Amino acid sequence: MAKAPAKTKAPVHAPKRAPAKAPPTAPLKTPPKASPKPPLQPHPSHHPAGGGQMGEADETMVPAVAADALSIRDMRLARDGHRKRRAAPARNPLREGLRLERVPDPHTMVIFGATGDLSHRKVFPALAQLWRTNLLPADWMLVAVGRRPYDDDSFREEIGRSLDQWSRVPLEPEAERQFLERIVYHRGDFADDAAFDGLTKRLIEIDHAHGMPGNYLFYLATQPSAFGTIVGQLGRSGLDHERHGAGWRRIVIEKPFGRDLDSAKRLNREVGKVFRESQVYRIDHYLGKETVRNLLVFRFSNGIFEPLWNRRYVDHVQITVAESIGVEERGAFYEETGATRDVLQNHLLQLVSLVAMEPPATFDADALRDEKVKVLRAIDPFTRSSVEQNVVRGQYGPGWVAAQPVKGYREEDDVDPLSETETYIAARLQVDDWRWSGVPFYLRTGKRLPKRASEIAIQFSGVPHRLFADTVTDPQPNLLAIRIQPDEGILLRFGSKVPGLGMEIRTVNMDFTYGSAFSVDAPDAYETLILDSMLGDASLFTRADEVEAAWSIASPILDAWIDEPAPTLPNYAAGTWGPEAADALIERDGRRWRRI
């Protein structure tokens, strides 16, 4: 054996340390003395887990905006949200390259609305899958909060039955037993102070019994009307307070985030009074879908597409979210919602922002969301006249879907027989920025359409010069279609010579399907998103300013419709692709909806 050298000449690298101070940024302008707004006082309990990062230095990070133009909430958002430039936290070098999914810190999850349909169909099955695959910490507990009279055992039995019905992959009996053992039921009314005092006591007991550090994840799976009450109660009970150095508190809120711009702002304000923006995780489950996440990978990990992804090469973009089902048992809900609030304001605009965004500098939550917000802000706001020109609403009448006769919307249960609620909306948007100026984005979503299909189609411009002028058929422009569901995949259409002596061109498809390429079940969107919230990764959650920017696009449409007489409804038969006016909307520009 060779002797070890007495002195090693290899360079020695000490692990990198976090910078002691945040980089200097523009100072906050001094508010005028006459300002009625109180000065900003950082709440002592609102220090981030790292500690010591939210002092004086952070005050200087608020951008130079006249302070009297800012509400306390605005200033809090500015301080906590996207505009802030925090010192990059030191990274754990042992984390690099770990192949297994990271396991969240030990914590207790609290689900409000635990007896509801969403919890049973989506949340509990997702949690059970995470448990089954060892992605939940071994020290994990769940407190289910609801009004119904269950005890721990009867609620566990109820969840067991739901898992049998809704689990993506059946649980092994032992895994199911272990999972259910971790669930306790806490009965209480959301407006009842005593119920929250009891909840606080119970959480502390769980911490003591299991040696947990006091990390809580609150999940609001209730009606939106209860959001404000629950958040207020959590604040009153002090359950929002993050203890210095340990004990994070996060809140997950289900959509809808308001029903118009004003109510969204009001809700954000109520949440913002109690939780910092960095503690809030607003779920739009579309963002957790594997194909939607792949959109980012497709755009930013393939060098050949991004150079073409702009007004120079793209003629227009079509985004379709089509459902073949009607309102089912949710007639009352849908009467209050409609297609604009249910799909356009959230899912469709999220897809627009992912398609149109600039590459973020880093793949962290705020960098990603900053770019998405920029897109939403670049969309031309609707006016009354532009709504009339660029938006079409529809409502389905009786018809045939999948060879079955189906009722019209007005004949559905809990629906007003003279309802003017839209079950279909098509819109033409302009993203007015350097990349997309002049490229129309056509969006459509509806119920009782011929099939369930969600798709993003990038229609490229035609060739500038028709070289093969003698061919019988014109080559069609290239198309890139990203199928979100079902049959997830990506299709590229291009022209090819037909074999033979002549020079005929036919359009052919290069079709990639997830199913055949990977043959593995993708996780459910709720599994992805719940795990991310436990890990503190907010990349796939919508931020307050993002929600408000999306409502700034949707609200003027709804406002215009209040004043304008509705078209004759119903205006499309169930099982067709929507009203004729929607075809006219796109055909007016010399284009047509894709046949999906």
Partner 1 sequence: MLGHPSHKTPAPGQPILRWNTRTHSIAGIEAELARIWSSVSLETEGDDGEPERRVAPRSSVMNLVVIAGRSEIGERIAAIVEGLTGRHPSRTLVVSQADPDGPAWLDAQVQAHCMLPRDGAAETCAELVYVTAGGQAGQHLAGLVAPLLIHDLPVTIWWPGEPNLDSPATADLLDLADRVLVDGSAWSGDGLASLVAMSRLPRRFKVEVSDFAMLRQSRWREAIASTFDRPAMLPFLGGIREITVMYAARAGSDGRANAIKPLYHVAWLASRLRMTCVNPLVGEQAPWSGYRAELRQGRRRIDVVLRPEESASPPGTTLSVRLRAERRRDRLTVAVTAQAEGVTVLATLNGEAMPERRFLGARRREGELLAETIEGAATDRISSSALAMAGSIIGADSGPATVMTRANA
CB 106 within 8 A of CB 140: yes
Q: What is the dihedral of CA 217, 222, 227, 230, to 10 degrees?
A: -60
284 CB-contact burial (10 Å; exposed 0-12 / middle 13-18 / buried 19+) = buried
Q: Does 2 bind partner 1 (CB under 8 A)?
A: yes
**CB closer to partner 1, 97 vs 464:** 97
Q: Does 211 bind partner 1 (CB under 8 A)?
A: yes
**CA gap 202, 184 in Å, rounded:** 10
Q: Which stretch binds partner 1 (CB under 8 A): 6-14, 116-124, 309-317, 396-404?
A: 6-14
Nearest residue to 137 (alpha-carbon basis) of 243, 212, 249, 247:
212
Report the nearest approach of partner 1 to the CB of residue 13 (Å).
4
DSSP 3-state of 568 = coil
Report the nearest approach of partner 1 to the CB of residue 197 (Å).
26
Interacting positions 234-263 with partner 1 (CB under 8 A): 245-246
CB 107 within 8 A of CB 250: no
Q: Which stretch binds partner 1 (CB under 8 A): 211-219, 390-398, 434-442, 501-509?
A: 211-219
**CB closer to partner 1, 333 vs 518:** 518
Interacting positions 508-527 with partner 1 (CB under 8 A): 515-516, 518-520
Among 134, 154, 223, 389, binds partner 1 (CB under 8 A): 134
Q: Which stretch binds partner 1 (CB under 8 A): 9-17, 186-194, 275-283, 385-393?
A: 9-17
Phi, psi of 552 (to 5 degrees): -65, -25
Interacting positions 74-133 with partner 1 (CB under 8 A): 89-90, 92-100, 102-103, 105-106
539 CB-contact burial (10 Å; exposed 0-12 / middle 13-18 / buried 19+) = middle
Phi, psi of 339 (to 5 degrees): -65, -30
Q: Does 138 bind partner 1 (CB under 8 A)?
A: yes
**CA gap 574, 186 in Å, rounded:** 44
Q: Does 359 bind partner 1 (CB under 8 A)?
A: no
**CB closer to partner 1, 8 vs 302:** 8
Strand ranges (DSSP E) for 412-516? Answer: 424-430, 440-446, 453-460, 479-485, 489-497, 505-513
Among 23, 24, 27, 51, binds partner 1 (CB under 8 A): 51
Looking at the DSSP bridge assignments, the partners of residue 183 are 142
Q: Which two tokens stand for residue 122?
A: 């989506």
Mark residue 247 as left, alpha or beta (left: phi above 0; alpha: psi -120 to 50; beta: remaining).
left
Report the nearest approach of partner 1 to the CB of residue 9 (Å).
9
**CA gap 93, 95 in Å, rounded:** 5
**CB closer to partner 1, 183 vs 431:** 183
Report the nearest approach of partner 1 to the CB of residue 363 (Å).
16
**CA gap 78, 74 in Å, rounded:** 6
**CB closer to partner 1, 43 vs 208:** 208
Q: Does 209 bind partner 1 (CB under 8 A)?
A: no
* Residue 210 a catalytic site member: no
Q: Does 21 bind partner 1 (CB under 8 A)?
A: no
How many residues form the binding site for partner 1 (CB under 8 A)? Answer: 43
Report the nearest approach of partner 1 to the CB of residue 11 (Å).
9
The secondary structure of residue 116, as a DSSP letter, is S
Q: Which two tokens stand for residue 267?
A: 């809700």
Amino acid found at 538: A
**CB closer to partner 1, 213 vs 440:** 213
Among 116, 137, 235, 398, binds partner 1 (CB under 8 A): 137
Q: Which stretch binds partner 1 (CB under 8 A): 4-12, 163-171, 286-294, 498-506?
A: 4-12
Q: In what helix (H) or strand (E) does residue 566 lie, and over which residues does it extend?
A: none
CA end-to-end span of the chain: 70
**CA gap 360, 561 in Å, rounded:** 36
Interacting positions 372-411 with partner 1 (CB under 8 A): none
**CB closer to partner 1, 13 vs 21:** 13
**CB closer to partner 1, 140 vs 424:** 140
Q: In what helix (H) or strand (E) does residue 288 lie, and over which residues does it extend?
A: none
**CB closer to partner 1, 17 vs 33:** 17
Question: 244, 285, 347, 465: which is the annotated catalytic residue?
Answer: 347
Q: Does 536 bind partner 1 (CB under 8 A)?
A: no
Report the nearest approach of partner 1 to the CB of residue 361 (Å).
22
Torsion sign across C-alpha atoms 443, 448, 449, 452: positive
CB 285 within 8 A of CB 525: yes
Q: Cβ of 519: how many Cβ atoms within 10 Å? A: 7
Report the nearest approach of partner 1 to the CB of residue 266 (Å).
36
Question: Using CB under 8 A as the criterion, which residues of the chain lie in contact with partner 1 when the complex forms?
Answer: 1-2, 4, 8, 10, 12-15, 17-18, 49-51, 89-90, 92-100, 102-103, 105-106, 134, 137-139, 211-213, 245-246, 515-516, 518-520
List, by residue number, the catalytic residues: 347
